[in-house]
Structure 1
Amino acid sequence: MATHINAVENPIINTPYEEPKQHWHIEEGKAPQKRPGRRLASYFLRVPERAARGRRAAGQVEIFDEDVKGTEYLLDLANLLRQRVQDWRKREYQGATKVTRELIDLWRAPDRVQPLFYAQVEAAETVIFLVEGPHDLRQGIEVPLDEPGPAAKQAGYRAFQRYALKMATGSGKTTVIGMLAAWSILNKVADPQAPGYSDTVLILCPNITIRDRLQELKPELDELSLYRTRELVPVHRMMDLRRGEVFITNWHNLERRELSDVNGQSARVVKRGLPVETLRTIKVSATQSADEIQHQATVGAFRIVSVETKRDGTPKAFTVKETRYFESDAAFLQRILGGRKGRSSAILVMNDEAHHAYRRGAVDETDQYAVDEETAEADAREATIWIEGLDRINKALGGRGNGIRFCVDLSATPFYIQGSGNEVGKPFPWIVSDFSLLEAIEAGLVKVPQLPTEDGTGGEVPRYFNVWRWVQRQAQNDGHIGPVTVAEVMRYATSPIVTLAASWRETYAKWKEHFAQGNRKQDVPPVFIIVCRDTTIAKELYAWIADGSAQYGAGVPEFRNAFGREMTIRIDSKVDEDIATGGSQDETRRLRFVLETIGKTEWAGKKVPEEYAALVERNNRKALEDEDSRRVILNPDVPPGRDVRCIISVSMLSEGWDATTVTHVVGLRPFGSQLLCEQVVGRALRRTSYVVDPETNLFTEETAQIFGVPFELIPFKVEGGKPQPPSPPANHVYADPECAKYEIEFPVVEGYQDPGVIEVKVNWDRVGELVLDPDEVPDDVLLRGLTAQDGRLIAFGPGAAVRVNLEAWRKGVRTQQVAFELAKVLTEKWKADRGDSIPAHRLFPQMLGAATRFIDQHVEPIKTRAKQDFALNPYFGKAIAMLLNAMESVDGGGASQEKAILAPGAAATRSTRFVDFHTGKALHDVRKCHLNAAVFDSDWERQAAELLGAHATVEAWVKNDRLGLVVPYRKDGVSRKYLPDFIVELKNGGRLLVEIKGQIGDAMIKKAAAERWCRAVTNDGRFGRWEYRLCFGAGELGTVLDALAQEHGRAPA
């Protein structure tokens, strides 16, 4: 019986060199459909295993969590930018510099020897657009800053800008780094005063493997650099490129180093560097007596704070305070960017595999997360050092304009991981571009993951779709209570491994045959990976697979190690950490070279690395000196990973591991998020060939077979914005299929555009009055000294009182001056909102006339207030909002020309049919509504809903609750969003937005904004006629409906 993982016959439907033109629509329980257009950028969020589930037994909890389904959420910022960048291309990159245009022309040239992937071009162009794109296209785009926490801010660290590029495994992130480095350096060299660029680029990566590979990004390599081998920079620009600098390092170097000595003397003695006080406990032991500890304190090594004694009064342990000295920020910066010659006051930073660089939140130890205990501490340390290093660089360079210009994050999975103290699986909020794994599969950029869809048991979900779950159930059926033991894991997990190994054996035979026929370049085996929960399980598996231990039944003979023949290797979490830093042990270094050469028959450039040659020399010498050591004589010319067939790993293997020969993966661990699933699956997805099929013009299909990694690609529902809580309340509001005739569709308006505009019109009836009232905002304050001993103010006590007011200020302010300032701000706001459709020299006089009339006729000072006070906030900001919300663009005949700018693609419209949410509020029955029930915030709303359901002129209505109808407007000069209470469809086809108010508040400002929304949507022509009604109470709504009924010849109900 088929599971909910849907299969398609031909998953590759797009070329990787153009924007995706179609996609597979996957929906649970239905056959996948090939649909035109590109899929929207989104992410899947699923309640993590064992998260917020109380304190039930771990085994029980994990089984229950299998039923928790994931939810798809749109990446709204990435979708918006995707459309804006498209618009920018249509304008032929308006605003781009000469250098930028030259680079983009080269990257998109149709005659390239090696075309760039669309994913690469889109990612680079998105960042460039955020710097060079025209102001009107960047309007409404707000990428959040990466804000330090309170303690970091107190230490002088400042927020900086980050742009995350979400790029699937195999889509070419290194090339994008090169494209952006070249763009920044060349623009800075061409115009040293340009603020958006830097000629100094710092690239940070997770390990030395990637660090060494990224050396091709050094401009000084000239024709051997990536800039020339991938045709990223024209030949005549290479000299300018070499005037910039690219620094590359792994995150470990960002850790502040402790000073051991200064000019040959102890740093503690000369007290140089940054002092940090720490407390620690020193126990009295056989190797360190109490006298020796006290002697160290006497010579100044530390200061004894307290002494813990035994019953006989002798010291047991000492708590000491010691001062350690670390390098200063200046020394740190010199070490990271030593000798930089760049002229930029700020630098461009690029984080490769940036999902490691995040600010840790507060981790709740009571949460029952299935955190990787063996890697959690290392993950936390890496994130802390990485982000604190960025903060320190930003501060040391001066911060703000002189720190990090901006930081580009590149990652296939820029999400928060378990144990991070953040919401697990939630994306970084600064994702600006997304080329997802699904898009990469459809474009053939990666292997197609094949997951179990059915088995012989007839179950809905195949057993090996989630091996860990299956093992738990089997153990439970055997009467086991609590977490599964290693013995139980080995009792059942060997079966799926042997089963998948049979498929590996077939693949191995095919590869051998293809090599013999000349259809494969290298005679290397396919690779089988097993990802384990912990080291204990990994050791038992290794004993069974590599050593041939018979206690767990038949193994896989092809994976068994023999003397001088290493077929299976084991990479524990600590070994993986050592490999990332380069390691100090010979075995760690050897394993690094093994991993780097899997699937390779010869060394890069046919040159043996000096480090590996030295390792082999030491090994061979020891083997000859000690024949009983069982060391194997190694041939340095043979890459040590060439013959490896199986890898048993506790971690997911180092990022940047670029083996292309992985064909089979078994997950033998719990998977708490789709993020973790994608990271593990990603290790198997790099292609072996990039040859295009001449018949289809698409890449040929390559596959990887996966057991036990429950990677679900199914969008159970799609929503924008923040996800709902994982445990919803009982009351359910949803679209009732039986009431589908009351469905209401509406547009999603993001802004406004003005085609053919020549002037601005103010609808003065909508402006209202601005009352300057000292009772609301005081303009007169009496100050007195503190006269009572306890600090209380005595109103009529002794001492002179001081009155502070605006009299002196008012004498120096003229209303004409205020009108001029108001007109200037109105002009700026108008252009920021709507672009340059009206030239400034024609726009400003119109704004000045409107400002003058507003002050003369619509500003009313009362009591002690004067008209000049209007120049002060909050009145000035209110005036801006009142005028802007009442303004519209008109043609020569005075008719409004403003049209709505809609959200891109499928997000342009929404409907009541997508409503599906839970609430703790009371539900109310409804009539003439697509929904099963409604929730009201006041009696006025409830009464209005009853009236709408009963009135004859109403065709359908809905409460605007989680529908997504939002009206943009300004209040106090700040952009805001307003949600009208109701959407109403009338019998005559017209539409109403209805607001029920009990008091005036800022209703008039919202009214003007909503009327503007209705006019712009009506002008669009695709959504019918829209109007807005503001009603103070349900009674006034009844009057409005009666009037509409009479207007259209229908008697009121």
Structure 2
Amino acid sequence: MEPENKHSGFVINSPYFEPKYHFEYDDNSESYHREDGRRKAGYYVTVGKQEVGKGAMQFLELELANMIRPRVREWKEKGYPNVTSTTKKLLEHWNRFNQEGFEQGGQRYFWCQVEAIETIIWLTEAPDAVKVGINLKDRSDSDWLRACTKLATGTGKTVVMGMIIAWQALNKIASPKDTRFSKNILVVAPGITVRQRLSVLIPSNESNYYDDFDIVPPSLKEYIYQAKIVILNWHALAPKKKESLPKVMRDTMGDESDNAFTKRVLSEFPGDASILVINDEAHHCHRHTAEIGKSKEDKELEKKENEEATIWIQGLDKIHKARGIITAYDMSATPFIPKGRTSNTGFELFSWILSDFGLHDAIESGLVKTPTIAVRDSSYSSEQVAGDKSKFFHIYYEDGIQEDLNKKCERNVDLPDLVRNAFKILSTDWLATKKEWNKGVPPSMIVICNNTFTSQRIEYSILNSHLGVSEIAEKDKVLRIDSTAEDIEDEALRERFNTVGKQGKPGADIQCVIGVNMLSEGWDANNVKQILGLRAFTSQLLCEQVVGRGLRRMSYDVDESTGLLKSEYVTVFGIPFSFLPIEGKEGPGPGPEKPKTFIQVLKQKKQYQILFPNILRVQKETKYFVDIDWEKTDKLTLSPTENPVWVQVAPTIDRPDLSQSQKMDSIQEYLGKDYRLKQSIFAITTSIKNNLDDSWKNIDDGNKFQQIFKIVSSFIEKNVVIDADKTNYDIYKNILIGLNTTKITSLVRQAINLSQDTKSYPIPDPINKFKTTSVMTGWYTARDTYSSPEMKCHISHLVQDSKWENIGKILDNEIDDVVAWVKNDHLAFTIPYIHKGLMRSYFPDFVIKYKGNKYLLLEIKGKEREQDQTKCDSAKLWCEALNTDKESWGEWQFRVVKNKPTVKDLIW
């Protein structure tokens, strides 16, 4: 056991490998200690019916996930026995970085993502002998199989969804009769916001995750477009309402049948197709009814939750009865069903959870921000006992706060001092962060209130500078949302809310968001730095759901000295965590984070857009040529005097009776016809072809035969001389050639030349023949960057590296022929290559466009690795293939520079 204070933070594991350590809390010392090994799958609950955040916590294991975990590990170590060839290709592709380390420019998956998809595949494809005792069907609440993947917010579950789709669809396309798979996939989302963001799962979209995250290996990419994917909001699963019909029809029309419902909802799927379902935020899809809570707000919220859950699950019931659901894969960070006051925990766990990578694991792997909370404050005295918390720990239950915040009063009524002070402290922390960042989008602070009266009072106090920091009080930069994003009727307001923290979007400048109960799922702002909770938190689950909205990271830069992600933080007041590894807000904080730079596409620089050929593979085509060296050929004279064309025969007893002789000229009838000449040429051609070198005998027979046939015909026309009576010349020619096929064959064969020519040509993506700099998704980095108004680049910044620190300045200022350039970072531009028998993706460092539609792929090498020569050879072949059609693709070169590039290196 290693004390926590030997570490600089709670990030102790690499996100790219299975966790090696985990933290355990020691109640006696009130501190965390590092333990060896991975944490078991499970979750914490408060012991007994105590106030959340107080009293002992109990860890409850997820029995099924812990049973499955070692079996999947062993199955993987044995090489995934029993999987299809398609699945094997996908698994090798997703695990390639774990085998050979990080590849510059490549997409590396988080370990939790790979574990999640491997567990899902194991359930379907592993031998039955290793799945004894699992019995997932018995655990499901439905007539179809449900399998849940528990992944904390911010760990990339949408990528896992893309992996599921690729695995299912590509297997079905390869083996149409395999009933374990389907290429008809329904994705159900909890709201408009999430549904819109899931459009990246459509392969034909210009910006899609299969390209952006390199989910499908190049050898399979062209087939993914055959997948049929329908993404629906749960509202679409509601039964058809009769109220909108005329009264006569309402009285006579029966309920919509399951078949009619399914045909209406899933009109894009074939009528006989079985369906695979993916439920995003699946904790909204359940059968159990939660007990109604105490407050009016809780009653309304739970009523809405029950309505959504009922429509969602009953809609899937209808689809299963009509078509058959193979499996429903449930994706959720919190797969729990609310149970109200009848349960000690306030919720019931899904019993079909296959794998678990929870918020603990995400924090310890650096995949989300580390929460910092108030553990002591100046009101703490020596008389207080160990375990007492700061007044800012759970503000709602401090003296007088609950009563005050439940008042139905005007917005200008003063807030309690404790609430005002909490906001003032957090807003000064916000201001310090803003000054550190200095540019780009500002940090944002979120306030979660118990009702709309409180949210209005908070907004009024902020805008009228009653809460201290005036910089946060700009009217256009404070956003109050009293409902979920789906319920916001003002589209402009919804768009501002959905784009908080996104450079160049309507919500980019928002500094404070005020919400009621909880902000919408799918809200993915990553610039949240402070959270203030002003409502009751009745379970640790609720704490996780609310705080999860603010835990998304801005940057995924790896600290080269440790191999770990650099810590990012969010300060939390009023939300009573008592089970997470959290850093206390007492004494000096974690220190200022280095300001992040937002890397984005600059629409105003569209003239520097670069189109990349989206090539699935390079196809080699070898053509085989047969010709003749005429200088090696001789003339061949054929005459009836040397080659008898008729015979005179006579009957004989002892000597022939010449008086009865007859001319035997049937051969003239047989060989003298014109078509017999073609048959002779055919026979000569066949003999020559069959006697070629062994390596040529079975290659391109049709084309090879035609070439030899033409040579033989030309030889006869040019080199064969017929010495015969002009009267019967054509007949004698046909006869004499037919009688001398062996001689002609020998003469032609000795002069034959064999040659071959191999050319490469590109096979482009059938849907998107080009990729473009225009669709790059913006991202943050804390590394040094280069930017200049004169940049001939569609992307705002170049992330600096010692290998290319001056390249931007050279390209922008010293080479006139340069039209545009870009660093191939987050652009998903790849060149396929094969290494150790596996199809890989190579990401060249730079693409430079010159005048005359010319392009240079530039690779700047440091330390060389085993596969680098293979990459270079593949890149050269790729350029060669494109250059066979310069009109369509432009002219391409590939160049490797082993030192810092100079002007000479960058000239076309």
Q: Quick one: which of 333, 338, 355 aligns to 2:267? A: 338
Deviation at 1:591, TM superposition (A): 1.8
The 5 A counterparts of 1:263-302 are 266=246, 268-269=248-249, 273-275=253-255
CA contact (8 A) 1:273 1:328 kept: no
Deviation at 1:470, TM superposition (A): 5.0
The 5 A counterparts of 1:29-428 are 29-30=28-29, 31-46=31-46, 67-110=54-97, 113-145=106-138, 159-221=143-205, 224-259=207-242, 266=246, 268-269=248-249, 273-275=253-255, 327-341=256-270, 344=273, 346-361=274-289, 363=291, 372-397=298-323, 403-417=324-338, 419=340, 424-428=346-350
The yes-or-no answer on 1:433 pairing with 2:339 is no
2:210, 2:401 → 1: CA distance?
Answer: 56
Deviation at 1:643, TM superposition (A): 1.3
Deviation at 1:67, TM superposition (A): 4.3
Q: Quick one: which of 640, 652, 669 aligns to 2:518? A: 652
Q: Structure 1 residues 436, 137: closer, same or farther in 2, change over 3 A?
A: same
1:71, 1:190 → 2: CA distance?
Answer: 48
2:305, 2:290 → 1: CA distance?
Answer: 15
Q: Structure 1 residues 429, 528: closer, same or farther in 2, change over 3 A?
A: same
CA contact (8 A) 2:477 2:509 kept: yes
User: What one-letter code is carried by the residue in structure 2 that aligns with 1:692?
Assistant: V
CA contact (8 A) 1:245 1:341 kept: no
Q: Which residue number corresponds to residue 569 of structure 1?
A: 479
2:441, 2:401 → 1: CA distance?
Answer: 38
User: What one-letter code is carried by the residue in structure 2 that aligns with 1:16?
Assistant: P
Deviation at 1:481, TM superposition (A): 11
Tell me the secondary structure at the aligned position of residue 187 of structure 1. Answer: helix
User: What one-letter code is carried by the residue in structure 2 that aligns with 1:387?
Assistant: I
Deviation at 1:361, TM superposition (A): 3.0
Larger Rg: 2
1:350, 1:475 → 2: CA distance?
Answer: 42
TM-score using structure 2 length: 0.58
Tell me the secondary structure at the aligned position of residue 32 of structure 1. Answer: strand
1:7, 1:498 → 2: CA distance?
Answer: 33
Residues 201-222 of structure 1: CA deviation (Å, up to 9, x unaligned): 100111112211111211333x
Q: Quick one: which of 486, 498, 502 aligns to 1:580? A: 486
CA contact (8 A) 1:100 1:183 kept: yes
User: What one-letter code is carried by the residue in structure 2 that aligns with 1:330?
Assistant: N
The 5 A counterparts of 1:550-561 are 553-561=466-474
The yes-or-no answer on 1:22 pairing with 2:51 is no
Q: Which residue number corresponds to residue 894 of structure 1?
A: none
Deviation at 1:572, TM superposition (A): 0.6
Residues 110-169 of structure 1: CA deviation (Å, up to 9, x unaligned): 265010001100001101000011222111212254666xxxxxxxxx622111111011
Deviation at 1:664, TM superposition (A): 0.2
2:180, 2:63 → 1: CA distance?
Answer: 25
CA contact (8 A) 1:359 1:383 kept: yes
2:511, 2:250 → 1: CA distance?
Answer: 56
1:249, 1:681 → 2: CA distance?
Answer: 27
Q: Quick one: which of 454, 457, 461 aligns to 2:376? A: 454
Q: Structure 1 residues 482, 94: closer, same or farther in 2, change over 3 A?
A: closer
The yes-or-no answer on 1:673 pairing with 2:539 is yes
The 5 A counterparts of 1:678-757 are 678-713=544-579
2:321, 2:339 → 1: CA distance?
Answer: 29
| Structure 2: unaligned runs, 5 residues or longer | 582-908
User: What one-letter code is carried by the residue in structure 1 that aligns with 2:366?
Assistant: G
2:542, 2:190 → 1: CA distance?
Answer: 17
Deviation at 1:491, TM superposition (A): 4.0
| Structure 1: unaligned runs, 5 residues or longer | 52-61, 149-157, 276-326, 398-402, 516-522, 603-638, 716-1053
2:45, 2:348 → 1: CA distance?
Answer: 7
User: What one-letter code is carried by the residue in structure 1 that aligns with 2:481?
Assistant: I
Deviation at 1:391, TM superposition (A): 1.3
Tell me the secondary structure at the aligned position of residue 372 of structure 1. Answer: helix
Q: Which residue number corresponds to residue 467 of structure 1?
A: 394
Tell me the secondary structure at the aligned position of residue 494 of structure 1. Answer: helix
2:566, 2:28 → 1: CA distance?
Answer: 28
Q: Which residue number corresponds to residue 503 of structure 2?
A: 601
Q: Structure 1 residues 528, 418: closer, same or farther in 2, change over 3 A?
A: farther
Deviation at 1:679, TM superposition (A): 0.7
Residues 539-569 of structure 1: CA deviation (Å, up to 9, x unaligned): 1111111244xxxx5443123244xxx1211
Residues 269-317 of structure 1: CA deviation (Å, up to 9, x unaligned): 3756434xxxxxxxxxxxxxxxxxxxxxxxxxxxxxxxxxxxxxxxxxx
CA contact (8 A) 2:444 2:527 kept: yes
CA contact (8 A) 2:140 2:352 kept: no
1:396, 1:342 → 2: CA distance?
Answer: 9
Q: Structure 1 residues 36, 66: closer, same or farther in 2, change over 3 A?
A: closer
Residues 439-489 of structure 1: CA deviation (Å, up to 9, x unaligned): 111111011111112222234433344333553x2569xxx8997787686
Residues 968-1021 of structure 1: CA deviation (Å, up to 9, x unaligned): xxxxxxxxxxxxxxxxxxxxxxxxxxxxxxxxxxxxxxxxxxxxxxxxxxxxxx
Q: Structure 1 residues 126, 147: closer, same or farther in 2, change over 3 A?
A: closer
CA contact (8 A) 2:289 2:306 kept: no
User: What one-letter code is carried by the residue in structure 1 that aligns with 2:326?
Assistant: R
1:14, 1:193 → 2: CA distance?
Answer: 43
Deviation at 1:418, TM superposition (A): 5.3
1:141, 1:147 → 2: CA distance?
Answer: 12
Residues 835-875 of structure 1: CA deviation (Å, up to 9, x unaligned): xxxxxxxxxxxxxxxxxxxxxxxxxxxxxxxxxxxxxxxxx
TM-score using structure 1 length: 0.51
Q: Structure 1 residues 217, 166: closer, same or farther in 2, change over 3 A?
A: same
The 5 A counterparts of 1:474-553 are 474=400, 490-512=416-438, 515=439, 523-548=440-465, 553=466
2:449, 2:479 → 1: CA distance?
Answer: 13
1:679, 1:558 → 2: CA distance?
Answer: 29
CA contact (8 A) 1:146 1:160 kept: no
Residues 939-988 of structure 1: CA deviation (Å, up to 9, x unaligned): xxxxxxxxxxxxxxxxxxxxxxxxxxxxxxxxxxxxxxxxxxxxxxxxxx
Deviation at 1:691, TM superposition (A): 1.1
Q: Structure 1 residues 237, 443: closer, same or farther in 2, change over 3 A?
A: same
Residues 623-654 of structure 1: CA deviation (Å, up to 9, x unaligned): xxxxxxxxxxxxxxxx3212111111003211
Report the aligned-residue RMSD.
2.9
CA contact (8 A) 2:52 2:537 kept: no
Deviation at 1:424, TM superposition (A): 2.0
Deviation at 1:528, TM superposition (A): 0.5
Residues 679-698 of structure 1: CA deviation (Å, up to 9, x unaligned): 11111111110111111111
Deviation at 1:369, TM superposition (A): 7.9
Q: Structure 1 residues 426, 360: closer, same or farther in 2, change over 3 A?
A: closer
CA contact (8 A) 2:283 2:336 kept: yes
Q: Structure 1 residues 12, 475: closer, same or farther in 2, change over 3 A?
A: closer
For these two proteins, the number of residue pairs brought into alignment is: 563
Q: Structure 1 residues 379, 641: closer, same or farther in 2, change over 3 A?
A: same
User: What one-letter code is carried by the residue in structure 1 that aligns with 2:524?
Assistant: D
